[in-house]
A and B are shown apart, each in its own frame.
Chain A
Amino acid sequence: MGNGSFRGGVHPFDGKDMSKDKPITEYLPKGDLVYPLSQHIGAPAKAVVSPGDEVLAGQILGEATGFISANVVSSASGKVKAIERRMLATGVISESVIVENDGMYRLAPGLGTLRDPSQMTKEEIRLAVKEAGIVGLGGAGFPTHVKLTPKDDAAIDYVIVNGAECEPYITGDYRLMLEEPERIVAGLKAILCLFERAEGVIAIESNKPEAIARMREAASGADRIKVQALKTKYPQGAERNLVYAVTGRRLNSRKLPADLGCIVSNTDTVLAVGMAVCEHLPLMRRIVTVTGDGIANPQNFRVKTGTNLAELVEAAGGFKGEPAKVIAGGPMMGMALTVLDIPVTKTTSALLALTEDEVERFAPTDCIRCGRCVKACPAGLVPQKMREASERYQLDLFEKLHGMECYECGSCTFACPARLPLTQGFKEMRKAVMDRRRKAQAQKQAGGKS
């Protein structure tokens, strides 16, 4: 068993007070909806509609290609206007299906029928998740049906619902746990149907006592489900920390949770699984927190995927003051945006507008070797040394210092009193090392053939 915490981590200002008491409100899009075919980890989906086609809500627009891939589903009814390249929050340009919304949200036939997962076979449950196009909604975007298909179902003894929501400012999962705990429990029960030996653990940071109480209440009748409180500390919700906090088992970059008998999914994802399996509704919505001191009226929205971010800012009363930085996601791992003409994808958890950019306010100075980065690193690394490697672009040294174990949580950079952009350097180095590995692999394969 885990101790509900982990070594390292930091305590950034959490900013959740701005939106945590705002009930989730439904936002219906006004403009066109944009569905990028590559909004998950793995192969992009392949468009199965053409411009001019009439589509219905829940209809598949892009089909998964290959094992690790996910369907892309329309969240509204209307007409396919175009299939063209659009920019995502990550800066990546992806082929996207543009749908002109008719505002009717007519559901595709056969969807929305109630089902009882205990009466379904495992294949039917997995198919329902796959058809629904569900991916990790916490930000990773890993296809959920792949995650729910480990080598051996009987080897899984924990299904962990990640309700940590450790990123500052974001309150979507928190609101879901308060407002729709039954649906989350339904999703967890559906997943537990796949893993007979597993115990379901809903893991929530201790700074959300109401959520803990509500989830306990909702799960009270269910056997094999319990709620565990975790220490409030960033990055408690990172997979390796969460698995350790709940089970005491130690993941690393080469191991998947399933290798250690765990399945980990974020709250909204589990809810989406519940809706897909029990209500036969594909992934057409997600919760987006629009917040920050640069937003007039911070809100939690239930948003149709494909909705333009600019609409959400408007729905939250527009900008307040002059935002210095606008971020898709949270302040620790989110992406700074240059424009708002970007669609809500499956992994858009928040839109954050800050009137002061602390990165600009605190200019980097020289490293004083204080060791705060070492203390903060939840992966047990020595960022100070890794930085020396990244400054000199020494890939071998970076690997030797276990740099590939970094998961870019940003704790070291947050803690650094010299305000050095450590994580930025590590991202570049990790990418360079991965590129090098891929090239070496390709060369080896080419050599083997000739």
Chain B
Amino acid sequence: MRELWNVSSSPHVRSHEGTSNLMLDVALALLPATAFGVYRFGLYALCLILVSVGFALLTEYVFEIWTGRENTLMDGSALVTGLLLGLNLPPYVPLWIAMIGSIFAILVVKQLFGGIGQNIMNPAMAARCFLLISFAGYMNQFPALDGMSSVTPLTAMRNGEPVDLAAMFTGLTNGTIGEISTLAILAGGLYLLVKKVIDWVIPITYLGTFALFMLLFSGRGMDVHYLLAQLCGGGLMIGAWFMATDYTTSPITEKGRFVYGILLGVLTGIYRLWGASAGGVSYALIFCNLLVPLIERMTIPKPFGWEGQKNG
């Protein structure tokens, strides 16, 4: 018999769903997009993903040893960061780009701000933006593939060229490794919804607002083909389902999630219509990440029983 029973404050039971389960689910949900990217761009793309995942894990491990912190590799968050960064790289950048991006994501964006849950920007997105600014040449190169154009569908649309919507939906286009197949991303997003890892609010308000914004301001009016191509193009889908839903950098309040999704939709629209490059999801995400503390502060809900009342 034990001499003493455990004593702690209630509740005495815990949900079996822990941080590592959630992160593993996100990684699983990214598998279709990963597999399709490797199928489309070949083994070199797989190498890029492995390097970015590997260096994300290594950076986290070394930093934690160096600073005498508890090892957090098993929570799975560095894995997800590395994977997301890899999927957001063009398919033929040099391996050292992936390496630098991963180190920046984990060291500067995540660990220097306090580690998991403390970063003010999504590490993978911030690293992508860092790479876009620092190595614009590499990061905007999409070599021609099996006779297809070396421009991404978004750039083509900007130049007024026609795009193949079906190819964009299935993923037979050019772009970063993980963003090309809307179908694969939606499959992953659906998995996250069904497993209740994410809820619908942010992706749907983001995509909905973006579509509405383009309808009003693109000058194309009710051009369904154009709208759908905009929705399927670039990093919007992977951004809406996997980046905007990042726990740490999105609002935890219910109303805040709506505000965040709407802001993302509007900003992405602005960047896509009037920004310097054809894309804009990365910058919209980073910008809105920084607004999250403010959004949360302004959307603290009225408690139950105080709705519409001043006090409480």
Which residues on A are within 8 Å of B, measured CB to CB? Answer: 7, 10, 12-13, 168, 240, 244, 250-255, 319, 322-327, 331-338, 354, 357-362, 365-371, 374-375, 378-382, 384-385, 401-402, 405, 408, 410, 413-419, 421, 423-424, 427
Complex: A445 Cα to B10 Cα, angstroms? 36
Is B208 interfacial (CB-CB < 8 Å)?
no
Is B15 interfacial (CB-CB < 8 Å)?
yes
A-chain residues with CB within 8 Å of residue B300 when the two chains form the complex: 382, 385, 401-402
A334 near B13 with CB under 8 A, answer no
Answer whether A365 and B303 are a contact pair too, CB < 8 Å, given A322-B2, A324-B5: no
Further 19 A-B residue pairs, CB within 8 A, beyond A354-B12, A375-B254, A424-B9? A251-B305, A253-B305, A322-B1, A323-B2, A325-B8, A333-B11, A334-B10, A335-B10, A357-B6, A358-B12, A366-B118, A369-B117, A374-B254, A380-B304, A382-B300, A413-B14, A417-B17, A419-B18, A424-B8
Residues 13-65 of B contacting A (Cβ, < 8 Å): 13-15, 17-19, 21-22
Interface centre among B7, B10, B21, B296, by most A CB within 10 Å? B10
Q: Which of A10, A324, A334 contacts B2 (CB 8 A)?
A: A324
Complex: A338 Cα to B17 Cα, angstroms? 29
B-chain residues with CB within 8 Å of residue A368 when the two chains form the complex: 19, 22, 77, 116-117, 247-248
Contact pattern, B 241-259, Cβ under 8 Å of A = 1, otherwise 0: 0000001100111100000
B8 near A416 with CB under 8 A, answer no
Answer whether A324 and B6 are a contact pair too, CB < 8 Å, given A369-B252, A416-B15, A417-B21: yes
B253 near A427 with CB under 8 A, answer no
| Nearest CB of B to A309, in Å | 13
Instruction: Name the CB-closest residue of B to A334.
Output: B10
Is B195 interfacial (CB-CB < 8 Å)?
no
B-chain residues with CB within 8 Å of residue A379 when the two chains form the complex: 303-305
| Nearest CB of B to A326, in Å | 5
24 cross-chain CB contacts under 8 A: A12-B11, A254-B311, A319-B1, A325-B7, A357-B12, A358-B13, A359-B14, A360-B8, A365-B75, A366-B118, A368-B22, A375-B254, A380-B301, A385-B296, A385-B300, A402-B303, A405-B304, A405-B306, A408-B10, A410-B11, A413-B11, A414-B11, A421-B9, A423-B9
Q: Which of A7, A338, A369 contacts B5 (CB 8 A)?
A: A338
Complex: A123 Cα to B191 Cα, angstroms? 62
Interface centre among B6, B253, B302, by most A CB within 10 Å? B6
Is B307 interfacial (CB-CB < 8 Å)?
yes
Q: Which 10 A-B pairs have the closest CB atoms?
A: A252-B305, A410-B11, A424-B9, A371-B252, A405-B303, A380-B304, A370-B247, A250-B305, A336-B7, A402-B303
Is B312 interfacial (CB-CB < 8 Å)?
yes
Instruction: Name the CB-closest residue of A to B197.
Output: A370
| Nearest CB of B to A209, in Å | 25
Instruction: Name the CB-closest residue of B to A424.
Output: B9
| Nearest CB of B to A447, in Å | 25
Answer whether A382 and B301 are a contact pair too, CB < 8 Å, given A357-B12, A360-B6, A424-B9: yes
Interface centre among A13, A323, A371, A384, by most B CB within 10 Å? A371
Which residues on B are within 8 Å of A, measured CB to CB? Answer: 1-2, 4-15, 17-19, 21-22, 72, 75, 77, 115-118, 199, 247-248, 251-254, 296, 300-307, 311-312
Instruction: Name the CB-closest residue of A to B199.
Output: A375
B6 near A365 with CB under 8 A, answer no
| Nearest CB of A to B111, in Å | 12
Interface centre among B4, B15, B248, by most A CB within 10 Å? B15
A359 near B6 with CB under 8 A, answer yes
B-chain residues with CB within 8 Å of residue A250 when the two chains form the complex: 304-305, 307
B-chain residues with CB within 8 Å of residue A367 when the two chains form the complex: 117
B18 near A402 with CB under 8 A, answer no
Answer whether A419 and B252 are a contact pair too, CB < 8 Å, given A255-B305, A370-B22: no
A-chain residues with CB within 8 Å of residue B301 when the two chains form the complex: 380-382
Instruction: Name the CB-closest residue of A to B12.
Output: A331
Interface centre among A359, A369, A416, by most B CB within 10 Å? A369
A380 near B116 with CB under 8 A, answer no
Interface centre among A358, A366, A408, by most B CB within 10 Å? A366
Complex: A323 Cα to B303 Cα, angstroms? 39
A-chain residues with CB within 8 Å of residue B11 when the two chains form the complex: 12, 331-333, 410, 413-414, 423
B15 near A415 with CB under 8 A, answer yes
Complex: A417 Cα to B11 Cα, angstroms? 14
B-chain residues with CB within 8 Å of residue A424 when the two chains form the complex: 8-9
A378 near B6 with CB under 8 A, answer no
Complex: A401 Cα to B299 Cα, angstroms? 11
Complex: A255 Cα to B251 Cα, angstroms? 31
Complex: A76 Cα to B312 Cα, angstroms? 47
| Nearest CB of B to A290, in Å | 15
| Nearest CB of A to B23, in Å | 9
A-chain residues with CB within 8 Å of residue B2 when the two chains form the complex: 322-324
B-chain residues with CB within 8 Å of residue A371 when the two chains form the complex: 247, 251-253
B-chain residues with CB within 8 Å of residue A385 when the two chains form the complex: 252, 296, 300
